[in-house]
Chain A
Amino acid sequence: MKTAERPQNLATAVREALVVAMEADADVCVLGTDVGEFGGVFRVTSGLLERFGKERVIDMPLDPAGVVGTAIGMALYGLRPVAELTFADHAYGAFEQLTSELARVRYRSNGQLACPVVVRMAAGAGGGGGIHHSAHPEAHFVHTPGLVVVCPSTPADAKGLMLSALRGEDPVVFLEPQALYRRSGGDAPEGDAGVPLGVAREVRAGSDLTIVTWGAMVRVCEDAAAKAAADGVECCVIDPRTLWPLDLDAIAASVAETGRCLIVHEAPRSGGLGAEITALVQERCFLHLEAPVTRVTGFDTPVPAALEDAYVPSVARVLAAIDGIMSF
């Protein structure tokens, strides 16, 4: 494949990962609503049906619990299903299968059974979908023992993390930021380029303040960090990439150096993953802290279609938080 044709957005990067994995492993199959003939609502699975056939690219009724439950059974048979729920909001309809069944197969069988299902879903705002098509529900899944939770922010990470997810033995909730599906984000590497699960990426180096962020908020924080640098504040931006298990060592090492920590996420504030990271940072880095750990998040409301821009953390809100921390 020529360099000019490399995947440059999240949708094409995930698709390439699926192609690589399906070519390498005949047990990998894809199932979900419209994943076959239609190629997926976001076209992530476009072309897979023609390439791999209906035995491995399986259109399902619009029934999230049915999709996840079927995937569990397929995994217990020995396949490696990739289940698409389209929107993360649809995961609520599959909540029991995700949290009480999929997540617990290994634990309840005392390690006798594995259930390596990857559950893909579009997360967050960006499509104007409003209150039932914009959820970013990582906190629910992080709170569920047994699940690995992934949220890439670049095409390279999307491809690499998906490949790793498909080679592991754990169920993985793969949150794909809706806002990034069509946004250019650099080339995904060619071939089989896995990115290890549970390892954070330092997006930007800095010694004054650590920003922990993921998904579509990484770009926002990069822009804010660039503006802050112009005012003499150097921010280290860390993208955990795998939200659980969290690479706390990478975060703590940075906070120990900067003494300040800002967490930015799109999901509602209360009970969000930011609260957990805040607790972990103060447990690990209390004596290093120069200012309170601070959060910039979505609001404790659903995401209204007409007010996406007001809801989602902006560069201005992140800059205001940076100012507040630095002047504490």
Chain B
Amino acid sequence: MSAVLPLETGPSLEVEARIVEGVALASAVEAHLANLAEAGHIGLFPPAGRARVAMTAAALATEPGDMLFGTARDWVAALARGVTVDDLFLQMFARASASGGGRTLPGAVQDPARGVVLSAGAPAAHLLHAAGFGHAAALRGGDERVAIGLFGSAVAFSQDAHRAFTLAGVAGARVVFVARGADGGVGSLHRAAEGWGLRVVTVDGDDGGAVFRAVQRARDRALAGKGPTLVDARHGDAPAVPHDALVLQRAGRLSSEAERAVDAEIRAAIMTARSAADGAAAPGPETLPEHVRAEAAHEDR
């Protein structure tokens, strides 16, 4: 059933601080990439906007063996899963040394070693993959892997989203779906998801701590064999009440010196990554037929 979680028992201060710092990093990266896209230096760039809070918190709530399925917009979650700023910029610049070899939409990070597979296909096609991964994990039951499926409210009525919810519910899949982004006026998503056997939890998408805890609990629930959860972490129309500074202050990380140091660290990381990506080689035309199929004998003439 639908539930609005109380806020008084959130994650540890350390986790909240990591969320705030992750969001700060994502914000700075996004601002830089948006400028590059505007100037035509990189291709179509999907910004995360305010959803970066939910993306960061959801990703930080996962464990190393989990697989995070999302869209190109979820590159922020990839950062929180351990993809480096350097790797992200190589991907955004479609460089040969990027994990995906420069083959996908900027943002669609392919880093299975870090449990990140972001799709640039149909907007909710990946949710079926999350359901399938979670179904397999539930069938096997021998490990503690869970699938996380991030999606935007714009696809809440898509066939793929609803069939993924249905199949996950029927199968008792080990999957946590996370709706992020603007509310979009989608009111019936909860009733539909509940009808298909998903537990629905609503949290404020601007509240990273609440998102973290909801995803963590949903993950525990999935591992306990209690089925999939839809964490509705969309944010409303009203601007968020900033509490980041308070979190950092309570964590002992906010002082004029510390703030400047964090800013400088982020700026340096971005400029290093930008410089490396600028200088990295694009994939050569000889790579065009690579990895179409596994067998060398299958390569096209």
Residues of A that sit less than 8 Å from B by CB? 29, 55, 58, 60-61, 63, 65-66, 68-79, 96-97, 100-101, 104, 106-114, 145-146, 148, 168-170, 197-198, 245, 248
Contact = CB atoms under 8 A, between A and B. Distances in A.
B61 to A, nearest CB: 20
Given A73-B133, A170-B294, A245-B293, A110 B128 contact: no
B276 interface: no
Contacts of A112: 99-100, 110-113
B298 A148 contact: yes
A48 to B, nearest CB: 15
Interface stretch (B16-24, B38-46, B118-126, B181-189): B118-126
Contacts of A146: 292-293
Contact of B292 (A58, A61, A72, A145): A145
Given A74-B135, A146-B292, A65 B300 contact: no
A69 B69 CA distance: 13
A236 to B, nearest CB: 22
Interface string B89-117: 00000000011110110001011110001
Chain B residues touching A, range: 35 or more
A108 B108 contact: yes
Interface string B276-301: 00000000000000111111011011
**A-B residue pairs, 4 tightest by C-beta:** A73-B132, A69-B128, A110-B101, A169-B294
A109 B131 contact: no
Given A110-B100, A112-B99, A70 B167 contact: yes
Contact of B99 (A71, A76, A110): A110
Interface string B52-74: 00000000000000010100000
Contact of B294 (A66, A101, A114): A114
B148 interface: no
A60 B184 CA distance: 32
B178 to A, nearest CB: 16
B169 to A, nearest CB: 11
Contacts of B135: 70, 73-74
Nearest to B167: A66
A73 B147 contact: yes
Nearest to A246: B301
B133 A108 contact: no
B32 interface: no
A111 B160 contact: no
Contacts of A113: 110, 112, 117
Contacts of B108: 108
A166 to B, nearest CB: 14
Nearest to B120: A108
Contacts of B113: 112
B100 A109 contact: yes
B291 A55 contact: no
Contacts of B254: none
Interface in B128-158: 128-137, 139-140, 145, 147
Contacts of A78: 136
A61 B168 CA distance: 12
B131 A69 contact: yes
A109 B112 contact: yes
B170 interface: yes
B110 A71 contact: no
Contact of A65 (B98, B112, B140, B160): B160
14 contacts: A69-B125, A70-B128, A70-B131, A73-B129, A74-B135, A76-B129, A76-B133, A100-B125, A106-B292, A107-B292, A110-B99, A112-B100, A112-B112, A145-B292
Contacts of A198: 295, 297-298
Contacts of B122: 96, 100-101
Contacts of A60: 167
B159 interface: yes
Contacts of A109: 99-100, 110, 112, 117, 291
A101 to B, nearest CB: 5
A29 B135 CA distance: 12
B164 interface: yes
Given A63-B167, A69-B131, A101-B119, 12 more contacts: A61-B167, A65-B163, A73-B134, A77-B67, A96-B121, A96-B125, A104-B121, A106-B294, A109-B99, A145-B300, A170-B295, A245-B300
Nearest to B297: A198
